[in-house]
Amino acid sequence: MNAHEVDRYWKTVVNTIRDGLMIVDERGVIVAINDALERITGYSRAELIGNDCSVLHCDICENIRCNDGPQWCTLFKGKPVKARQCIFVRKDGSLVHALKNACLLRDDQGEVMGAVETITDITELIEKENQLAAYAQQLRSDDGFHGIIGSTPAMRRVFELIANAARSDAPVIILGESGTGKELAARAIHQSGDRSDKPFVKVNCAAFTESLLESELFGHVKGAYTGAYRDRMGRFESADGGDIFLDEIGDLPLATQIKLLRVLEEKIIERVGDATPIPVNVRVITATNRNLTELIARGTFREDLFFRINVIPIHLPPLRAHKEDIPLLADAFFHRIGLKNRKPIHGISNDAMAALMAYHWPGNVRELKSAFEYAFVTCQEAMIQPHHLPPDIHANAGAPTTPQPKPEPVRKPFDRQEIQRLELLEALEASDGNQSKAAERLGVTRVTVWNRMRRFGVQYKRTIAQVDGGEERVSAFDRRGTR
Ligand SMILES: Nc1ncnc2c1ncn2[C@@H]1O[C@H](COP(=O)(O)OP(=O)(O)OP(=O)(O)O)[C@@H](O)[C@H]1O
């Protein structure tokens, strides 16, 4: 290819690259751009060319623009910009996170004619990074991931799937045995998605007769059937803009399956007794503990509906498949139920924890939670012992069923929060209330110490008291509860 041909194809090459490209003259007036820049900024070529480059409101340009001397921008003082992260404002007012490179263009005599800038759009990357940071924060918090507790790889994978599902509008199906947290997962998808400020509507498909279910889902008009005294909006309409959670989808009657399929395909509903189509914008999240493939083979579930709802499947593992999460879950339920009960129970004994670990949990996390509700009723001691747990659990573990003759020392082997609180108190005591020193002892930052003091309601008071003419230093903790 000769130089002339290269010239001919140059425009095509420039417009093929994914990065935005812009040439400005020595006054900062835009003289050329490529297609990618139009796409990134939302401005057309005609709107940009001839305009000042400040139209893009690049944050670093606003900082480096100099107001004195002939050079209007530090770039023209000869300082190239290399892979600087910056933010532009699109035509519609939204922000573009970008990496920018810029350098001067000179003529044959070395005179500055202008500058060229390339802009790599990293908005998606930054958004994902922010989202990851938010998820990490969620995981660190006591409440787990939107209330779902677990830190094993199996549960982390579930959190990742939930986070991905939340980013899309595609139908999600949550599969798993009863009590594995399917409803919690559905709520987490709603809460972490763009529809979180719109309704989350739950319908248990197994709880209604066929005719009532249709009216519940799609609404009805007055006179549609005996007892329909007035028009009524269905759950799909109430969920408009948000998410509808159809629990026990495997129990949906065949006739309703056809109607649901139509809603998913056409995004319109018709109230029972009326043929007027009503558009609805609802994302459908379904859940079941039944084997849909088997139901399809038996002819009780439509295969076409299955394909429609099975776009993003999320499998929740049974508790026996992630037993390493039991101490964490037990700790959380112990505290949650303990807060309501106000009984002076200090923790879970090692034997009780061993019994929990040995059990096979057919009722999954729901059964674990119920075991703690039970234990808080039966336990009259300082620690929960195996015999305070429901009979199936301690019998299964072969743990002693009678109280230990010697009471165990009051300790809380699995109480993460309490251990952290005691460590904090010790560190503050040893550092005479100095938060920086306490932070050093604990190997955390001073802000973390301050945060923990706030969380545990710990105030370190230092009082100088006069004692017999001399001074005595009195230090005291003011503790308000453990959380
Ligand atoms: N990973 C978890 N972390 C905290 N709580 C959980 C978890 N999994 C389940 N739970 C709790 O267990 C109970 C049952 O959860 P959920 O109703 O979401 O289960 P499900 O799978 O929808 O059950 P079903 O199929 O019977 O409707 C709820 O009280 C829920 O808060």
Task: For residue 465, give the amino acid letter.
Answer: A
Whole-number pLDDT of residue 475: 42
Ligand 1, atom 24, lies closest to the CA of 178
Ligand 1, atom 27, lies closest to the CA of 178
- The alpha carbon of 367 and the centre of ligand 1 are apart by a number of angstroms equal to 9
Q: For residue 69, count CB atoms less than 10 angstroms from its CB and return exposed for 0-12, middle for 13-18, buried for 19 or more.
A: exposed
Task: Identify whether the C-beta of residue 101 lies closer than 8 Å to the C-beta of residue 110.
Answer: no
Instruction: State which H helix or E strand residue 419 sits in.
Output: helix 416-430
Q: 3-state DSSP call for residue 101?
A: strand
Whole-number pLDDT of residue 6: 73
Task: Tell me what the pLDDT averaged over the chain comes to.
Answer: 83
Averaged over 272-280, what is the pLDDT? 91
Task: For residue 262, give the amino acid letter.
Answer: R
Whole-number pLDDT of residue 295: 95
Task: Identify whether the C-beta of residue 303 lies closer than 8 Å to the C-beta of residue 296.
Answer: yes
Averaged over 196-214, what is the pLDDT? 91
Q: Which of 239, 323, 218 is nearest to 281 (CA)?
A: 239
Contacts of 466 (CB under 8 A, 6+ apart): 472
Point out the ligand 1 atom lying closest to the alpha carbon of residue 325: 1
DSSP state letter for 477? E
CA atoms within 13 A on the CB side of 120: 11
Point out the ligand 1 atom lying closest to the alpha carbon of residue 247: 27
**Is 229 or 216 the better-scoring residue by pLDDT?**
216
pLDDT digits (tens, 9 = 90+) for 336-358: 888 777 778 888 999 999 999 99
Query: Rounded to 5 degrees, what are φ and ψ at 474?
Result: -115, 120
Query: Rounded to 5 degrees, what are φ and ψ at 428?
Result: -65, -40
Q: Considering only 141-145, 153-157, 176-180, 279-283, which range has the smallest mean pLDDT? A: 141-145
- The alpha carbon of 379 and the centre of ligand 1 are apart by a number of angstroms equal to 24
pLDDT digits (tens, 9 = 90+) for 98-149: 999 999 998 888 888 889 999 999 988 887 777 676 666 555 555 678 889 9
Give counts: helices (H), strands (E), the chain: 19, 18
Report the pocket of ligand 1 as residue ranges, CB < 6 Å.
Answer: 144, 148-150, 176, 178-184, 247, 289, 329, 365-366, 369
Averaged over 434-440, what is the pLDDT? 82
Whole-number pLDDT of residue 66: 56
Quote the CATH superfamily of domain 128-315: P-loop containing nucleotide triphosphate hydrolases (3.40.50.300)
CATH dotted code for 3-121: 3.30.450.20
Ligand 1, atom 15, lies closest to the CA of 181
ipTM of the complex: 0.98
Contacts of 210 (CB under 8 A, 6+ apart): 253, 255, 256
Whole-number pLDDT of residue 189: 96
Q: Considering only 33-37, 295-299, 426-430, 472-476, which range has the smallest mean pLDDT? A: 472-476
CA 74, chain centre distance (Å) = 42
Residue 454: pLDDT band (50, 70, 90) is confident
Name the residue ranges covered by the structural domains of the chain.
3-121, 128-315, 319-397, 426-479
Whole-number pLDDT of residue 395: 77
Q: 210 pLDDT exceeds 50?
A: yes
Whole-number pLDDT of residue 409: 38
Residue 457: pLDDT band (50, 70, 90) is confident
Q: 405 pLDDT exceeds 50?
A: no
Averaged over 54-63, what is the pLDDT? 80
> Is 319-397 the same fold as 3-121?
no
Contacts of 206 (CB under 8 A, 6+ apart): 247, 248, 251
Q: Between helices 350-358 and 326-341, what is the axis angle to 10°?
A: 120
**Is 405 or 445 the better-scoring residue by pLDDT?**
445
Pairwise CA distance, residues 180 & 373, whole Å: 17
Whole-number pLDDT of residue 234: 92
- The alpha carbon of 184 and the centre of ligand 1 are apart by a number of angstroms equal to 6
Q: Which of 149, 180, 286 to mutate to test the pocket of ligand 1 (most atoms within 8 A of CB)?
A: 180
Pairwise CA distance, residues 391 & 355, whole Å: 11
Query: Rounded to 5 degrees, what are φ and ψ at 117?
Result: -125, 140
Q: Six-digit token pair at 351?
A: 């034997």
Whole-number pLDDT of residue 34: 94
Indicate the pairing of strand 268-269 with strand 112-121: unpaired
Pairwise CA distance, residues 295 & 211, whole Å: 21
Q: What is the DSSP string of 312-377?
A: EEEEPPPGGGGGGGHHHHHHHHHHHHHHHH-----EE-HHHHHHHHHS--TTHHHHHHHHHHHHHH
Q: Which of 369, 370, 372 to mutate to test the pocket of ligand 1 (most atoms within 8 A of CB)?
A: 369
- Other CB atoms within 10 Å distance of the CB of residue 480: 9
Whole-number pLDDT of residue 398: 52
Residue 482: pLDDT band (50, 70, 90) is very low
Averaged over 360-372, what is the pLDDT? 96
- The alpha carbon of 418 and the centre of ligand 1 are apart by a number of angstroms equal to 26
Ligand 1, atom 18, lies closest to the CA of 181
Task: For residue 139, give the amino acid letter.
Answer: L
Query: Rounded to 5 degrees, what are φ and ψ at 294?
Result: -65, -40
Task: Identify whether the C-beta of residue 90 lies closer than 8 Å to the C-beta of residue 3.
Answer: no
For the entire predicted model, the pTM comes to 0.59
DSSP state letter for 407? P
Cα-trace Rg, the chain: 32
Whether domain 319-397 has CATH 3.40.50.2300: the reply is: no
pLDDT digits (tens, 9 = 90+) for 155-172: 999 999 999 999 889 999
Instruction: State which H helix or E strand residue 288 sits in.
Output: strand 283-288
Q: Considering only 3-12, 45-54, 130-139, 346-355, which range has the smallest mean pLDDT? A: 130-139
Q: 3-state DSSP call for residue 188?
A: helix
Residue 410: pLDDT band (50, 70, 90) is very low
Whole-number pLDDT of residue 266: 92
Q: Six-digit token pair at 279?
A: 């558009």
Task: Identify whether the C-beta of residue 110 lies closer than 8 Å to the C-beta of residue 133.
Answer: no
Q: Which of 200, 320, 366 to mutate to test the pocket of ligand 1 (most atoms within 8 A of CB)?
A: 366
Averaged over 78-92, what is the pLDDT? 86
Pairwise CA distance, residues 473 & 377, whole Å: 45
Pairwise CA distance, residues 426 & 186, whole Å: 42
Ligand 1, atom 28, lies closest to the CA of 366
Residue 318: pLDDT band (50, 70, 90) is very high
Q: Which of 138, 158, 182, 184 to mutate to test the pocket of ligand 1 (most atoms within 8 A of CB)?
A: 184
Q: Considering only 169-183, 275-289, 409-423, which range has the smallest mean pLDDT? A: 409-423
Q: Which of 302, 215, 285 is nearest to 250 (CA)?
A: 302
Pairwise CA distance, residues 28 & 53, whole Å: 6
Instruction: State which H helix or E strand residue 279 sits in.
Output: strand 278-279
- The alpha carbon of 207 and the centre of ligand 1 are apart by a number of angstroms equal to 18
Whole-number pLDDT of residue 440: 80
Contacts of 79 (CB under 8 A, 6+ apart): none
